[in-house]
Structure 1
Amino acid sequence: MTDEHGEVRLRAVTDDDLEVFLAYEHDPEAVRRSRFTPRPRDAFLRHWRVRVLPDPDCFVRTVTVDGAVAGNVCSWTEDGRRLVGYWLGRPYWGRGIGTRALGRYLELERIRPLYAEPFHTNTASVRLLERHGFERVDTVAHEDDGHLLFVLAERDGAGHR
């Protein structure tokens, strides 16, 4: 997909991507919006190298824009639910890149229902999910924070949710 904002692609994650992901996870504004506590470098790399990348249940892709690492999209199963998460670096916010990247990812990740749990004040993430047909179904608590529970339901034979 190419437009005036660059070519958005998904590809397999490489070890070199992890340092970029780490920097994005430590961006103070991203932390504020997501209410996600960034991990120290060693814990971050261990998480990705030991838990995420080798796990056949995790379906993860690097998002690139004109070849540069913009972030990642990942799905995994937790407590019987298939969840999706994404993280883009701040230079890629507000440019439609998240919309295009998640759209392409959802073409590849066919498991439904698919859930997401954005922090309740992360309006950009909420809008992104709604744009792709996710519907708010509940709230969930993570530590002391309220997150919204969204679901992308299965389509019936007529293409309806």
Structure 2
Amino acid sequence: MADDPARKVSLRTLREDDLPTLFEIQLDARAQHLAAFTDATAGDRDAYLAKFRRILADTAIVSRVVEVDGLVVGSAAVFPIEGDTEVTYWIQRDWWGRGVASAALAALLAEVPARPLQARVAEDNLGSLRVLERNGFVRVGSEDSFAPARDATITELILELPG
């Protein structure tokens, strides 16, 4: 289909001037519920901006903006955590179900050759689970963890993209 938004997805380096837009995108209550593991900065603009300024300064983190035809629709990143390397992404809800997250993750994986990569997803976040599986991630485990956005302990699936 010629007007398929996934064909027009691009990544670029995240800049500080992108942060206000990304803050607004992540305020979506449904998205926060599905992501489950947002922290206290999710509702506090100043704290969010400070947190992401620290992320931007960390050269070990690959932070990208996701665009569709030049419009900022989300972010994607690869970051080290507790001896592993994980991927994360956040796409504006208006763009869900249109292949944007899958295309953005594929572009990020092409850019970052490090393997294995891990990802975590709330067990009931079926859309994000499909995005990861479409990009070659396989389930390797699960754990029950406290999810601040839900104020509850939930099952989080652990996936890996093998090396």
Structures share a fold, TM > 0.5?
Answer: yes
SS in 1 for 2:57: coil
- Whether 1:40 aligns to 2:49 is no
Which residue of 2 is the match for residue 148 of structure 1? 157
CA-CA distance at 1:33 after TM superposition: 1.2
1:118-137 equivalent positions in 2, closer than 5 A? 118-137=121-140
- In structure 2, give the amino acid aligned to 1:152: L
Q: C-alpha separation between the residues in 2 aligned to 1:28 and 1:43?
A: 18
Partner AA of 1:147 in structure 2: E
**RMSD of aligned Cα (Å):** 1.4
Residue 31 of structure 1 is matched in structure 2 by 32
Query: Which residue of structure 2 lines up, in the alignment, with residue 159 of structure 1?
Result: none
In the alignment, does 2:88 pair up with 1:85?
yes
Distance 1:62 1:141 in 2: 30
C-alpha displacement of 1:60: 0.9
One of 110, 113, 116 as aligned partner of 1:110: 113
Q: Which runs of 5+ in 2 are unaligned?
A: 147-152
Provide, for residues 71-97 of structure 1, a one-character-per-residue CA deviation record: whole Å limited to 9, x for no partner: 010011111000000000011111111
Q: 1:67 aligns with which of 70, 90, 102?
A: 70
1:53 match: secondary structure:
helix
Q: Offset at 1:140?
A: 2.4
- Could you tell me how far apart the structure 2 residues matched to 1:78 and 1:141 are? 18
Task: Quote the Cα distance in structure 1 between the aligned partners of 2:4 and 2:17.
Answer: 24
- The one-character-per-residue Cα deviations of 1:83-113 (angstroms, maximum 9, x if unpaired) are 0000000111111111111111100111111
Please report how far the alpha carbon of residue 34 of structure 1 lies from its aligned counterpart in structure 2 after TM superposition: 1.3
Q: Which residue of 1 aligns with 2:4?
A: 5
Contact kept in structure 2, 1:24 and 1:30, CA below 8 Å: no
Separation in 2, partners of 1:91, 1:65: 12
Separation (CA, whole Å) in 2 of partners of 1:39 and 1:152: 32
Corresponding residue number in structure 1 for 2:150: none
Identical residues among aligned pairs (%): 34
* Count of matched residue positions in the alignment of Structure 1 and Structure 2: 152
SS at match of 1:18: helix
- Pick 1 or 2: higher relative contact order, CA cutoff 8 A, min separation 6: 2
Q: Matches of 2:68 and 2:131 in 1, distance apart? A: 18
Q: CA deviation at 1:39?
A: 4.0
SS of residue matched to 1:45: helix
In structure 1, C-alpha distance between the alignment counterparts of 2:144 and 2:49, rounded to whole Å: 26
Structure 1 contact 114–152 (Cα < 8 Å) conserved: yes
What CA distance in whole angstroms lies between the structure 2 residues aligned with 1:63 and 1:3?
20
User: 1:121-161 CA distances to partner (integer Å, 9 max, x unpaired)?
Assistant: 0000000100011000111233222210000001xxxxxxx
> Which is helix-richer, 1 or 2?
2
Contact 2:16 2:56 in 1 (8 A): no
